[in-house]
Structure 1
Amino acid sequence: MRGLLLNISVETNSPGWQVSQLQQRLLEKWELIGNQFAGSLADVSFPGWLNSTLVRLIIHLLFWVMIALLLILLMWKGQQLVKWYKRKIKSRNNRKIIKNIPEKKQDYSVDYWVIQAQKAEKKGEYQEVCQCLYQAMLQQLDSRNIVPHKSSRTDGEYEEIIVKIPQYQSYQQLLWIHQELCFGNLSASISLVKNCWEAYESIKRL
């Protein structure tokens, strides 16, 4: 019972629920204002050319169109706020997942990381797929004596070196994806995994 009450409390305190309640209150407020305005229009004495039923109907219609557009804008802004909050939470969770993946070790071969990426893809663990292909790239740079491995070397330092070699774009793409997954708001997806595989296959052909 306490668990159920706790879940209800969390849901009612979430930004999404609060935005929903705010939208509901705004809808009720604008409906009240609209009804009051419409009632006041009925008592207003218009000039002769405005006294026709058609003109009054057009005025009423334009007023309600404006109200509807304003409400749509408010609801859209509310949805954007909820989506932003969800992306922020997801990004925070993604960074935690990535930190739990083992760091590169020199005795791990390129084939090892590729196999790990394939296993992760079968499980639908897209974060880990991207991370393993990133590690495979680093191992390949080390094996080819392009960039010797250093645990303290950052993505920025890798990029400064690889831009000096021909056809560095595929390396750069994997570095950028890794950096955005770890420190940005990028979320792993099937399409992102596809991009990682394409970049890695390009690197293999170099």
Structure 2
Amino acid sequence: MAAQSFEKTNFFWELQQQVQRFNEWLESVTARNQNQVPELSLEPWFLDLLWLVVRGIFWLILGLILIWLGRQIWQNWQKYYDSVPSLSNAGLTKAGANKLKVSVWIERSRKFYLEGNYQEAVRCLYMATIQRLNDRGIILDETSRTDGEYRQLIQNLPNREAYQILLNTHEQLCFANRVISLEIFERCQQAYQEIEKQ
């Protein structure tokens, strides 16, 4: 009979042997150290106190996160609110504001003028002008229309300069944060009176 060849070693068998040796070594180390570690016995009141502290820390962290999140939301909302001039100054959006009659806008302008709030007085004159154009069917008011678009649409109207004074002042008021003086208000009021005479 021919002599058969046998494997003397195998990679997987060697790996299994190494893993077994490591496990035996780890078991001997932990058994030795287990006798040296004192047994920890905690009283029930201590466990209750520890659990109370852990819960308190959890709720404190959660509360701080919620406060921080609320503050971030509030600050972003404030930035938005402050960036919309008609909301922050007049308390109205342009869409809701245009539903008012011209006479109401003029009355508001007078009220703001008497209070010394020339910016809002000019804004009301501007809104009265836009509403007057809408009421007469000359230029229908659309909330998406800009001052530049109104400027293009008034090119063929009589008293174009009076309209431009109000449009330019409103544009500077909203986008350049221009401070409106009594002089500027009076010029805008005179321009509106010229428009009203048509």
TM-score under structure 2 length normalisation: 0.53
Number of aligned pairs? 114
Deviation at 1:165, TM superposition (A): 1.7
Structure 1 vs Structure 2 CA RMSD: 2.1
* Cα distance change of structure 1 residues 182 and 98 upon mapping to structure 2, 3 Å threshold: farther
Query: Residue 197 of structure 2: which of 176, 181, 205 is its match?
Result: 205
* Cα distance between partner residues in 1 of 2:105 and 2:180: 18
* Cα distance between partner residues in 1 of 2:171 and 2:137: 23
Query: Residue 103 of structure 1: which of 90, 93, 97 is its match?
Result: 93
Could you tell me whether the CA contact under 8 Å between 1:173 and 1:199 is conserved in 2?
Answer: yes
* Cα distance change of structure 1 residues 96 and 137 upon mapping to structure 2, 3 Å threshold: closer
2:129 matched to which residue of 1?
Answer: 137
Cα deviation code 1:85-121 (max 9, x no counterpart):
xxxxxxxx99858743123434300000000000011
Where relative contact order (Cα < 8 A, 6+ residues apart) is larger, the structure is 1
1:190 matched to which residue of 2?
Answer: 182
Counterparts of 1:1-206 in structure 2 under 5 Å?
Answer: 99-101=88-90, 102-104=92-94, 105-206=97-198
Q: Which has the larger radius of gyration?
A: 2
Bigger helix fraction: 1
Identity %: 35
Deviation at 1:184, TM superposition (A): 1.7
Could you tell me whether the CA contact under 8 Å between 1:94 and 1:187 is conserved in 2?
Answer: no
Could you tell me whether the CA contact under 8 Å between 1:159 and 1:172 is conserved in 2?
Answer: yes
Cα deviation code 1:26-68 (max 9, x no counterpart):
xxxxxxxxxxxxxxxxxxxxxxxxxxxxxxxxxxxxxxxxxxx
TM-score under structure 1 length normalisation: 0.51
Where 2:153 maps in the other structure, the secondary structure is helix
Deviation at 1:186, TM superposition (A): 2.4
Could you tell me whether the CA contact under 8 Å between 1:95 and 1:183 is conserved in 2?
Answer: no
* Cα distance change of structure 1 residues 149 and 97 upon mapping to structure 2, 3 Å threshold: closer
The more displaced of 96-105 and 153-162 is 96-105
Could you tell me whether the CA contact under 8 Å between 2:134 and 2:141 is conserved in 1?
Answer: yes
* Cα distance change of structure 1 residues 199 and 156 upon mapping to structure 2, 3 Å threshold: same
* Cα distance between partner residues in 1 of 2:166 and 2:87: 15
